[in-house]
């Protein structure tokens, strides 16, 4: 599933005319770059949630014939990240699935990150497996990180007033069972992560490559510069 329903407010004037997934980086729409990575990994179907600029996104994506696209419409009410996935579950089925933010870009140095996640994921031990990027050196990121990771890959939240070594890239595998008893109202995926962590079933995998956050103008500019290098 691609999360593409956000309002893009942190992009300011850039998203007044276009939804954030249609902004270009390196001459190509952000969402096309995300979908290109799915195709590279041999994934042939994706569910995309829509809200801001839904009609524009549908029209733009109608030109892709390299994978099957299905849409989960949130035009009536924006459901946040977790609620959006819960709403789309009839399209996603019962097996574990990838979830990818619609405003990130990543490049692999060793192997394929999506393949690496699938190889590492264990339904017996994990509810969620997050792709992590080292906080230091992440392109377009100015925060203090998200998680600490143990030797076995288990994750814990960044302690208050500390810098965590890893950022959640917005690329992950989640178990469908996580969304069976979730809130009916809009809710964040952080609710899912915290519940999985409490059960010691939240895990991470370090990404070997570059990652770029594209949710602010300075991040978009940093990604443009990185693509020219």
Residue 100: how many other CB atoms lie within 10 Å: 23
Cα distance between residue 202 and residue 125, in whole Å:
9
Q: Report all structural domains of the chain as residue ranges with CATH numbers, in order of start.
A: 2-228 (3.90.550.10)
Say whether pLDDT at 37 is over 90.
yes
The reported pLDDT for the residue numbered 87 is 94
Please compute, for residue 32, the number of CA atoms within 13 A of its CA located in the half-sphere on the CB side: 17
pLDDT for residue 171 is more than 90: yes
CA 68/CA 185 separation, integer angstroms: 29
Task: Look up tokens 């370090």; give the residue.
Answer: 206
8 A C-beta contact, residue 172 and residue 97: no
Q: Identify any residues that bridge with 164 across adjacent strands, giving them in sequence order.
A: none
Q: How confident is the model at residue 167 (pLDDT cuts 50, 70, 90)?
A: very high
- In this predicted structure, what is the pLDDT of residue 140? 77
Tell me: the pLDDT tens digits for 73-109? 998 888 999 999 999 999 999 999 999 999 899 999 9
Distance CA 29, CA 27 (A): 7
d(C-alpha 86, C-alpha 180), whole Å: 8
Taking residues 156-168, what's their average pLDDT?
93
Q: Is residue 176's pLDDT more than 80?
A: yes
Distance CA(137)–CA(57), nearest Å, equals 32
């Amino acid at each position: 599933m691609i999360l593409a329903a956000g309002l893009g407010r942190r992009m300011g004037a850039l998203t007044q005319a276009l939804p954030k997934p249609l902004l270009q980086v390196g001459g190509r729409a952000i969402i096309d770059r995300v979908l290109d990575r799915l195709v590279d990994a041999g994934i042939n179907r994706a569910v995309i949630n829509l809200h801001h600029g839904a009609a524009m996104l549908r029209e733009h994506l109608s030109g892709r014939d390299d994978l099957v696209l299905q849409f989960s419409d949130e035009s009536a009410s924006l459901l946040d990240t977790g609620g959006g996935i819960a709403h789309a579950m009839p399209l996603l089925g019962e097996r574990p699935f990838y979830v990818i933010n619609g405003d990130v870009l990543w490049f692999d140095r060793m192997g394929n990150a999506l393949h690496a996640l699938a190889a590492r994921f264990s339904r017996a031990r994990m509810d969620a497996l997050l792709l992590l990027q080292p906080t230091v050196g992440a392109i377009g990121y100015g925060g203090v990180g998200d998680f600490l990771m143990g030797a076995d890959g288990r994750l814990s939240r960044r302690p208050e007033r500390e810098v965590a070594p890893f950022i959640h890239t917005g690329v992950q595998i989640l178990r469908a069972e996580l969304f069976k008893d979730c809130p009916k109202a809009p809710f964040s995926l952080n609710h899912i992560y915290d519940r999985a962590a409490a059960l010691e079933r939240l895990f991470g995998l370090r990404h070997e490559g570059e990652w770029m956050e594209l949710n602010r103008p300075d991040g978009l500019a940093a990604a443009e510069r990185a693509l020219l290098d």
